[in-house]
Every structure is written in structure tokens, then in C-alpha cells.
Amino acid sequence: MKKLLLSVVAVAGLVYGANAQTEKGKVILGGNVGFNSTKVETAAKSDVSFSVVPSVGYFVSNNFAIGTGVGYNYDKQVSENVLNQAFVVAPFGRYYVGLSDQFKFFGQLSVPMAFGNNKIVNNNGDTGAKVATTTSIGVNIAPGFAFFPTKRIGIEVSVNGLGYSNLNVKNEITGAEVSANSFGLEANTFAPKLGVQFHF
């Protein structure tokens, strides 16, 4: 009987350990950081882009978190003679499903929004006047897997999944607006995203 009781306590401890990271009231911290540099032969300098979007979420119930990311995107395309800088807000909802003590599958619905402007860039990479205002709003559904080596750290692998976006560009001088819509499935398993989330 004593062995049976100890076994039940041990199993209960494993179940608690597996769910402790994603239970109601917990906080999740993470985000995205990206950098890319490409040299085009016809341009004097490289195209450079980077983004920093930290995020925070709160588990409103067991395994379900809501939150937002807030950050900045910088995309200087010398080869295209344009610089785009944007303020980014990306609210999200995320749901986890336990697969084992340390592995969980998750699905995330996010609404990324970027508000910025375009500036002229000459062939030497020098930035000129603002020529347009840009607004981008999208919806993305992304699946992924999380591995929890400890109760406070989740190592994640995900793909972009199903997405929609609307880009609006308003000319600064004429006031003319151009919109572009895109919709697609981007589940590229050859280019997954790797991330780390902290759970408190």
C-alpha cells in the first residue's frame, strides 16, 4: 500500500511538472529578433534588414495564453532605392496541448500590424526624404512544438502556417494610395523558426 501511495504521488508530481509552465496565472516572455544582409552586384552597399519584437503573454486559463508583441522593423533595400521603418504591434492567442512530460504542441493565432514610412535611398546607401506612409495588417495561424527542459524555459520550433496580409502605401506628395492583399500557406518545414520562451 505504501509503494502504491508513493507511485501515485510520483505520477501526480510528473503531471504537475508537465502543466506548471502553462497553467492559469503564469506569464510567458519571449519575442523575435531577426537580421539579414544581402549584397546585390548592381548596388554599392548591401541591403540590410533587422527586426526586434519582444512579446509578453498571460495564461487566462490552463494552456491558453493571450498577449502581444511590440517592436520595430528596419528594412533598407539599397538595390531597390527604398528604406522602410515601421512600429510593430502583434497581439496573439496561443493554446498548448500536452504530448508528454516535457513536450507540448501549440497553435498560435496572431494579428501582426506594422505602421511605418518609406524613404528614398540613393545608390550609395544615403537616405533621403520620406515619400510614403505604410500600413500593414495581417492574420497568421502558426503551429509549433515546445520542449521544456525546465519549468521556466520552453525551446520552440514553429512554421509560419496559414496567413493573410494587407499592405497599404500612401504617397506623401499626391495622397494616392495603393493596396496589396496576399493570402497563402507558408508551412515551409525546411525553414522553421527556432525560439526560446520564459515562463514565470
pLDDT of residue 31 exceeding 90: no
- What pLDDT is recorded for position 41? 80
Q: Who has greater pLDDT, 111 or 197?
A: 111
Write down the pLDDT at residue 164.
92
- CA proximity to 19, closest of 102, 126, 85: 102
Query: What's the pLDDT score for residue 186?
Result: 64
Query: Distance between CA atoms of 148 and 21, rounded to whole angstroms?
Result: 8
Alpha carbon distance 156, 65 (integer Å): 15
| Closest by CA position to 80, among listed 129, 137, 119, 130 | 119
| pLDDT above 60 (res 197) | yes
pLDDT for residue 13:
34
pLDDT tens-digit readout, 13-28: 333 334 568 999 999 9
Strand segments (E) across the chain: 27-38, 47-61, 64-77, 82-98, 103-110, 113-121, 127-147, 153-158, 162-171, 177-185, 193-199
Q: Is 191's pLDDT higher than 60?
A: no
pLDDT band at 194 (very low <50, low <70, confident <90, very high): confident
Per-residue model confidence (pLDDT) at position 185: 78
Residue 148's pLDDT is 93
pLDDT in tens, 138-181: 999 989 999 999 988 999 888 878 899 999 999 988 889 999 99
pLDDT tens string 51-107? 999 999 999 999 999 999 999 999 999 888 999 999 999 999 999 999 887 999 999
pLDDT, residue 192, reads 65
pTM (2 d.p.): 0.78
Coil, strand, or helix at residue 19?
helix
